[in-house]
Structure 1
Amino acid sequence: MSAPELAVTERGRVLVLEMNRPEARNAMSLQMAHEIADALDLLDTRPDLSVGVITGANGTFCAGMDLKGFARGERPVVEGRGFAGLVQRPPRKPLIAAVEGYALAGGFEIVLACDLIVASREARFGLPEVKRGLTAAAGGLLRLQRRIPYHLAMNLVLTGRMWPATEAAAVHLVNDLAEPGEALDAALALADEIAGNAPLALAASKQVLVRSQDWSLEEMFERQHEFVQPVRESADAREGAQAFVDKRAPRWTGT
């Protein structure tokens, strides 16, 4: 058995995923993609977990696909979840990217698949695939223009240039900037704030925000019903109301 390439730890209601291939700048391998997929399944199925945080070891987020593996014919894709076991089907629950150093190519596409982004002021993003005769096919071309202005997205894709996190924050792609070395701590503080809320409500709210982008005005209220109605009928909804009446902190069960 190969040594794990993803370190997974629990911190209260927060699940932390640390990509751990520092010798390759955490480039994505097939093994690590499967380990990420397994960790996200754990996040989604455990009612006592509310939020995920994904980061990289040794001061780098992820340099993208492992090109040595690609040269051997290996593609770090998990069926049904896509590249990195993540980009095609992110988890139902909120996922935060904590970025130090470089998030390039597939690494940036992992970031774009997350719901919130915390980055070091010295972090760098980029989609340099065109410089390697490739395209950003793991969600970069699909998601980037939905996150930032069209012409900026086109510039980044066609030039393949490095993009400082400070510039990304200026157009609100990055939620919070941290001092170098402190991105994970800042992401965990944000995750703890989110995890204080009802887990079913968090997951349902995320799903409506993500899925409703192409719903028509005529159908959007009906289509959100399948996500929000189970929350209204949940034990957590009753607990939230009772905690308000009792003037105490709610005790969420995720049911």
Structure 2
Amino acid sequence: MTDHPIRTERRGHVFEVTLDRPKANAIDLKTSRIMGQVFTEFRDDPELRVALVTAAGEKFFCPGWDLKAAAEGDAVDGDYGVGGFGGLQELRGLNKPVIMAVNGICCGGGLELALSGDIILAAEHASFALPEIRSGTVADAASIKLPKRIPYHIAMEMLFTGRWLDSAEAARWGLVNRVLPADQLMIEARRMADELASGPPLVFAAIKEVVREAEDMKFQDALNRITKSQFETVERLYRSEDQLEGARAFAEKRDPVWKGR
């Protein structure tokens, strides 16, 4: 088993993160803590605008919690590190786009990790499930997230029965954005990451904060927070050079040059 379960690569403003923990890319406490550090680095580096997350190999994206490590002493309620399990789902202030490229089996905590992204692309052979019910435990984060992402009855069936969805069905219910041949997955994921990296980072930040904070608010309450200057990212956008650049570029009929300030 590798001592370096997470590989990272910077491609301009894109930060590629690869989970590489043979044989199945399961996550133990140590790996989760490393992932938290990696995603914190992404969040805090102004030069990085988009994260692209995938996994090594062709069979597994991630099956979630490492049961072998648990049998050897890893406590399920142990220290997952900053950002919680997998470093993403509880990471505060992550106001940058995250693309998930699911290249195989994606279940349990691996599906919860995928749900922490903003866009999910899947290989044709990818599959999805929440098998926790079969081991007498609860998929806690998925129980919160999944019924808000796909039709309630489909989410509850997955939670209650642990049944598997192939990539086509996952796309049909809106669990993933797009299904691609395996050899095209990373090509499209990188194309999309580059497209987002060339976009206005302050606008993306404002979108993510508003969407996150407004999730459990009434429409008018959320809108009032915007008009009362109570969203930090929105206020930063409205006072930014990029806001002026967008207007100037439109008037001058040219592509804008975003600086993130």
- Per the normalisation by structure 1, the TM-score is 0.92
**Equivalence map 1:178-193=2 (5 Å):** 178-193=180-195
Q: Work out whether 1:28 is the aligned partner of 2:45.
A: no
Q: Which runs of 5+ in 1 are unaligned?
A: none
Question: What is the count of residue pairs matched by the alignment?
Answer: 252
Residue ranges of structure 2 left out of the alignment (5+ in a row): none
- For 2:61 and 2:183, locate their aligned partners in 1 and report how far apart those are by CA, in whole Å: 12
Are the equivalent residues in 1 in contact too, given 2:249–2:256 (CA < 8 A)? yes
- Is residue 47–residue 199 contact of structure 1 (8 Å, CA) maintained in 2? no
C-alpha contact (below 8 Å) 1:98/1:184 kept by paired residues: yes
Equivalence map 1:24-103=2 (5 Å): 25-59=24-58, 60-74=60-74, 75=76, 77-89=79-91, 91-103=94-106
Match for residue 126 of structure 1? 129
Residue in 1 that maps onto 2:199: 197
Is the Cα–Cα contact under 8 Å of residues 36 and 82 in structure 2 kept in the other structure?
no
Q: Offset of 1:171 from its aligned partner?
A: 1.6
Could you say what secondary structure the match of 1:73 adopts? coil
3-state SS in 2 of match to 1:114: coil
Q: Is the 8 A contact 1:99 1:120 kept in 2?
A: yes
Q: CA deviation at 1:22?
A: 2.3
Supply the AA of the counterpart residue of 2:37. Answer: D
Shift of 1:40: 1.4
- Cα distance in 1 for residues equivalent to 2:214 and 2:174: 20
Q: Distance in 1 between matches of 2:42 and 2:224?
A: 28
Whether contact under 8 Å (2:129, 2:163) holds in the other structure is yes
| Distance of 1:200 and 1:39 partners within structure 2 | 22
The answer for the alignment partner of 1:164 in structure 2 is: 166
Are 1:120 and 1:183, in contact at CA under 8 Å, matched by a contact in 2? yes
Quick one: which amino acid aligns to residue 25 of structure 2? N
Q: CA deviation at 1:247?
A: 3.6
Secondary structure in structure 2 of the residue aligned to 1:167: helix
Instruction: Please tell me whether residue 110 in structure 1 is matched to residue 118 in structure 2.
Output: no
How much has 1:222 moved relative to structure 2? 2.5
Identity of aligned residues (%): 35
One-letter code of the match for 1:52? A
1:145-177 CA-to-partner distances (Å, cap 9, x unmatched) read: 001111111111111111111101012221111
Q: CA deviation at 1:244?
A: 3.0
In the TM superposition, structure 1's runs of 4+ consecutive aligned residues that sit over 6 Å from their partners are none
Partner SS for 2:87? coil
C-alpha distance in 1 between matches for 2:220 and 2:250:
35
Report the TM-score, using the length of structure 2 for normalisation.
0.90
Q: Tell me the secondary structure at the aligned position of residue 27 of structure 1.
A: coil
* Equivalent residue letter for 1:61: F
Aligned-pair CA distance for 1:210: 2.2
Structure 1 position 248, deviation (Å): 3.4
Q: Is the 8 A contact 2:36 2:81 kept in 1?
A: no
Deviation at 1:105, TM superposition (A): 0.5
- Secondary structure of the residue aligned to 2:62 is coil
Aligned to 2:236, which of 184, 208, 230?
230
